[in-house]
C-alpha cells in the first residue's frame, strides 16, 4: 500500500479508549466528490447508524461532505481502526455497487481527535455540523441535506 507524505503521522500516538469521545474524519480517495450523489451520502449516514445499532459506538453527530466525512462518537466496543475499517469497507462496497465504479473509495488513513476534558462535546459537535457552512455550500447547516445530530441544535 502506498502512503502519501505525512500519513504515517496520523498513526502517531493513536489510542482507542472505550468511553472516549472522538471527532473522526475520513476522506475519499484522491478527494473525489463521490458524496455529491445523494444516494451515496445516505449510504454513509445509514452505515454509521447501523454500526451504532451494533453497539460499536454512540453516534452524536455526523456530516457527509462531497469528498469527506466528519463524525463525533463515543467508542463503545473495539478500537478506532476496527471501527473505521468496518465503516469504510461496508460503505465502499455499497457505494461502488450503486455507482458502478471500482477501486478504492476512501483514503487508507483517517484523522481522529480525542475530545479532551477541557473541550466541550457540544462545541466540537457544532464545529462538525458547521462544516458545510465553512465550505460555502449553505448559509445554515440545517439546510445541508446530509447531517445527523443526536440532540436538537
65 part of a folded domain? yes
Q: What are the tens digits of pLDDT across the range 75-110?
A: 999 899 999 999 999 999 999 999 999 999 999 999
The three three-digit cell numbers of residue 112, written as one number: 481522529
H helices of the chain, in order, are: 38-53, 80-99, 121-129, 131-134
6 lies in a domain? no
pLDDT of residue 12: 53
Instruction: Give the bridge partners for 27, in sequence order.
Output: 68
* Any domain includes 107: yes
**C-alpha torsion 42→46→49→55, nearest 10:** -150
Average pLDDT over residues 59-88: 96
pLDDT tops 50 at residue 1 = no
What does the alpha-carbon distance between residue 71 and residue 59 come to, in Å, rounded to a whole number?
A: 8
133 falls within a domain: yes
| Strand partners of residue 130 | none
Rounded to whole angstroms, the Cα distance separating 105 from 27 reads 9
Place of cell 458502478: 100
Identify whether the C-beta of residue 42 lies closer than 8 Å to the C-beta of residue 147: no
Is residue 9 assigned to a domain? no
pLDDT of amino acid 127: 95
- Indicate whether 8 pLDDT > 70: no
Residue 20: which residues within 8 A CB-CB, separation 6 or more?
Answer: 74, 75, 114, 115
The span from the CA of 121 to the CA of 23, in Å, is 10
Q: Is the dihedral of CA 33, 35, 36, 37 positive or negative?
A: positive
- Domain count along the chain: 1
* Residue 5 pLDDT grade (very low, low, confident, very high; cuts 50, 70, 90): low
pLDDT given for residue 13 in this prediction: 53
103 in a structural domain: yes
Range of the domain at 90: 14-149
pLDDT tens, 111-153?
999 998 777 899 999 999 999 999 999 999 999 999 999 999 8
**What is the model's pLDDT at position 116?**
85
Global confidence as pTM: 0.88
Region 54-83 average pLDDT = 96
45 within a domain of the structure (yes/no): yes
Q: Residue 138 is part of a domain; what is its CATH number?
A: 3.30.70.1290
* pLDDT, tens digit, 9 for 90 and up, residues 16-32: 899 999 999 999 999 99
Residue 63 lies in a domain: yes
Amino acid at each position: 500500500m502506498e502512503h502519501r507524505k505525512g500519513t504515517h503521522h496520523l498513526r502517531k500516538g493513536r489510542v482507542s479508549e472505550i468511553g472516549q469521545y472522538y471527532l473522526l474524519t475520513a476522506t475519499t480517495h484522491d478527494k473525489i466528490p463521490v458524496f455529491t450523489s445523494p444516494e451515496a451520502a445516505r449510504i454513509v449516514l445509514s452505515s454509521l447508524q447501523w454500526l451504532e445499532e451494533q453497539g460499536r459506538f454512540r453516534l452524536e453527530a455526523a456530516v457527509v461532505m462531497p469528498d469527506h466525512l466528519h463524525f463525533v462518537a463515543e467508542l463503545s466496543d473495539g478500537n478506532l481502526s476496527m471501527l473505521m475499517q468496518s465503516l469504510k469497507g461496508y460503505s465502499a462496497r455499497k457505494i461502488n455497487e450503486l455507482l458502478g465504479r471500482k477501486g478504492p473509495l476512501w483514503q487508507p488513513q483517517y484523522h481522529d481527535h480525542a475530545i479532551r476534558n477541557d473541550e466541550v462535546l457540544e462545541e466540537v459537535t457544532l464545529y462538525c455540523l458547521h462544516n458545510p457552512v465553512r465550505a460555502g455550500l449553505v448559509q445554515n447547516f440545517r439546510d445541508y441535506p446530509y447531517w445527523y445530530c443526536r440532540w436538537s441544535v
